[in-house]
Amino acid sequence: MSERNDDFITYELQEFKLFEPLFRWARKKSLWIVAFCTGCGGIEMPPLATARYDFERFGIMPNPAPRMGDLFLITGYVTPKTLKRIIITYEMMQDPKYVMIHGSCPINGGVYWDSYNVVKQFDKYLPVDVAIAGCMPRPEAVMDGIMEIMRKIESGKADGWKRYRDNYEWYKKNQDELFGEGWREKEGKRWLAWI
Amino acid sequence: MIGIDWKIVLEVIGMLIYATFMGFIFMGIERKAMARIQRRVGPPLYQPILDTLKLLGKKESVSHGLIYDFGPVFALGATITALLFIPIANFQLFSSNADLIVVAYLLEVPMLGIMLGAMSSGNPYSAVGVQRGLLTMVAMQLPYGLALIAIVQHWGSFKLSEIVALQSVHGWSITVPALLLAFIVFDIVFQAMLGLEPFDIITAPAEISMGPMLEYGGKHAALLFTQHAVQLFAETAFFAVLFLGGASNLIELLIKQIAVLFIAIFVASIYPRFTIDQAAKFFWKWPTIIGIIAVLLTV
């Protein structure tokens, strides 16, 4: 995005129309999850990864490195403090990237609807590709959400990263309303001192 | 003008394509076998190819400067050079009187390349990973060297093709008692060379994220994946050549490589990870003792 330092080069790469179907197929079949678990949904991940549901058969792999990740799972309620980290992690991921939100809390606040310290509507701050309702969604529901995102990737409808690029001003305005101006530089300096 | 031998050029290109493809399949076998051991279905065998394609298809690539770009290229180059020194089914592009030493050290160079790139990214996790990687390398040099000395002393040659020829006359290396000990030592070191448990301290995913690979993404990561595939092929081939009598055709080589790979997978899937001090202590204790015994038996 525009907030990057000078010794930090970003190559924007051309889209090859000819190979696009091949890349879409590969993207669909190898979604790497950024292992960033917020709230109570993180505990729903182990059943998905282990023998019973085994999401690795679809090529999904939990990956601790945000630079390599594709799919960002927001697993539960998001506080403003977490949201800062989520936004910075999201911006570290490389396009194309997808966001899936779990449970009612990121959709409309859920049981924290009147809490002073929970982000009620997540898609004001970051673009969302698939949302799964429920408190908590069962692993079946999460699998269904993952299938949905795979279908969307194949048909090219999972365009959250494009929307974030196009409507960056709007998202940034919302983020600044919550955290105050210049939070990104301040916090970024503190957490990512090496950049 | 010097005439180019087109047959050799085509052979080299074919060998590189074959090695890369089989390396990816080996990575797939690794993931599939681990999944089956954990009673999961596991990804399809061609999954690493899909992963690499996806990483190549990323629309954005972040770089931290020239050295960061150079690291993976350096690693891939060193791996390919090492591959061309190994006699793979009567095909060996480069040959010298001491190609065993050349291959043994060229197979260590890719790690240095990755570390060069990782250090230039400036990420503290990468720095910890690099430190661990260098310490593991220092720790495994001693038993690694001892195993190779045992081989060289027994067969009396530094030439890989000569070692293969001698093994086809006198029987495989592992049928010799002293070299069986060297085989055990080399197998332990092999585990660390492939970066599998119990020596996956370098890229310990739960502790230091991905270690040196943390800042890599997009095209750089695709290059590293390719490098890992070629390296997997080269290292298993090197193992098969040294201890399992080499191979006269690709099918025989493939069977031996997969046998070697499965030993590594089975060991990896039942052992937890060492911490770095435990790994160094372990390497300087048991493999070193066995290696010294092996060397003394071959004198």
Digit-coded pLDDT (tens) for B38-87: 888 888 889 899 989 888 888 777 777 788 888 889 989 999 888 888 88
* Subunit contact B59:A15, Cβ cutoff 8 A: yes
Q: Which domain holds residue B45?
A: 6-298
Query: Residue B237: how many CA atoms within 13 Å on its side-chain side?
Result: 37
Tell me which DSSP letter residue B91 carries: B
Asked if the model's pLDDT at residue A6 lies above 50, the reply is no
Give pLDDT, residue A5.
45
Contacts of A136 (CB under 8 A, 6+ apart): A40, A41, A44, A76, A102, A103
Contact A162, A111 (CB under 8 A): no
CA distance B16 to A4: 39
Res. B29 pLDDT band, cuts 50 70 90:
very high
Asked if the model's pLDDT at residue B266 lies above 60, the reply is yes
Of the candidates B272, B291, B288, B271, the residue with the CA atom closest to the CA atom of residue B280: B288
**Chain A interface with B: residues with Cβ < 8 Å:** 7-13, 15, 19, 22-23, 25-27, 29-30, 32, 50-51, 54, 56-59, 63-65, 67-68, 70, 93-96, 194-195
In a domain? residue B26: yes
Asked if the model's pLDDT at residue A194 lies above 80, the reply is no
* Token duo for residue B144: 């690694």
Residues of B in contact with A191 (CB under 8 A): none
The answer, for B172 touching chain A at a CB cutoff of 8 Å, is no
Q: Which amino acid is at A29?
A: K
Give pLDDT, residue B276.
86
Portion of chain B with pLDDT greater than 70, in percent: 99
Asked if the model's pLDDT at residue A104 lies above 60, the reply is yes
**Residue B25 Cα, gap to closest chain A Cα (Å):** 14
CA distance B257 to B280: 27
Strand-pairing partners, residue B63, are A9
Q: Which amino acid is at B130?
A: V
CA distance A93 to A70: 7
In a domain? residue B191: yes
Give pLDDT, residue B1.
54
- The predicted model gives A100-107 an average pLDDT of 86
Angle between helices A183-191 and A168-179 (to 10 degrees): 80
Query: Residue B284: how many CA atoms within 13 Å on its side-chain side?
Result: 11
Residues of A in contact with B205 (CB under 8 A): 63-64
Alpha helices in B38-97 (DSSP H): 47-56, 66-85
Asked if the model's pLDDT at residue A152 lies above 80, the reply is yes
Of the candidates A141, A69, A63, the residue with the CA atom closest to the CA atom of residue A102: A141
* Subunit contact B210:A19, Cβ cutoff 8 A: no
Q: What is the pLDDT of residues A111-131, one digit of tens each?
A: 888 888 888 888 888 899 899
Asked if the model's pLDDT at residue A4 lies above 50, the reply is no
Across the interface, which of B31, B61, B217 has its CB nearest the CB of A13? Answer: B61
Res. A16 pLDDT band, cuts 50 70 90:
low
Portion of chain A with pLDDT greater than 90, in percent: 1
In a domain? residue B259: yes
Give pLDDT, residue B2.
66
In a domain? residue B214: yes
Least confidently predicted of A23-37, A56-70, B198-212: B198-212
Question: Looking at the 3D structure of chain B, how many domains does it have?
Answer: 1
Strand-pairing partners, residue B62, are A10
Q: What is the pLDDT of residues B98-140, one digit of tens each?
A: 788 888 888 888 888 888 888 888 788 888 888 888 888 888 8
- The predicted model gives B181-185 an average pLDDT of 89
The sheet carrying A71-75 orders its strands as A61-63, A32-34, A71-75, A98-102, A130-132
* Token duo for residue B123: 């990420």
Give pLDDT, residue A1.
42
Q: Which amino acid is at B105?
A: Y
The residue count of chain A comes to 195
Across the interface, which of A56, A59, A94 has its CB nearest the CB of B61? Answer: A94
- The predicted model gives A45-65 an average pLDDT of 85
Of the candidates A32, A112, A27, A33, the residue with the CA atom closest to the CA atom of residue A76: A112
In a domain? residue B1: no
Asked if the model's pLDDT at residue B194 lies above 80, the reply is yes
Give pLDDT, residue B26.
92
CA distance B205 to A34: 12
Helix (H) or strand (E) holding A71: strand A71-75
Mean pLDDT, all residues of chain B:
85
Contact B217, A67 (CB under 8 A): yes
Residues of B in contact with A1 (CB under 8 A): none
Of the candidates B80, B113, B76, B82, the residue with the CA atom closest to the CA atom of residue B99: B82
Q: What angle do CA B155, B161, B163 make, to 5 degrees?
A: 15
* Subunit contact B62:A9, Cβ cutoff 8 A: yes
* Token duo for residue B233: 């092929």
Give pLDDT, residue A19.
77
CA distance B60 to B75: 22
Report the top-level CATH class of A20-189: alpha beta
Residues of B in contact with A93 (CB under 8 A): 217
Tell me which DSSP letter residue B90 carries: T
Contact B261, B29 (CB under 8 A): yes
Give pLDDT, residue A94.
84
* Token duo for residue B256: 């031996």
Contacts of B49 (CB under 8 A, 6+ apart): B24, B28
* Cis preceding linkage at A62, omega within 30: no
* Subunit contact B217:A7, Cβ cutoff 8 A: no
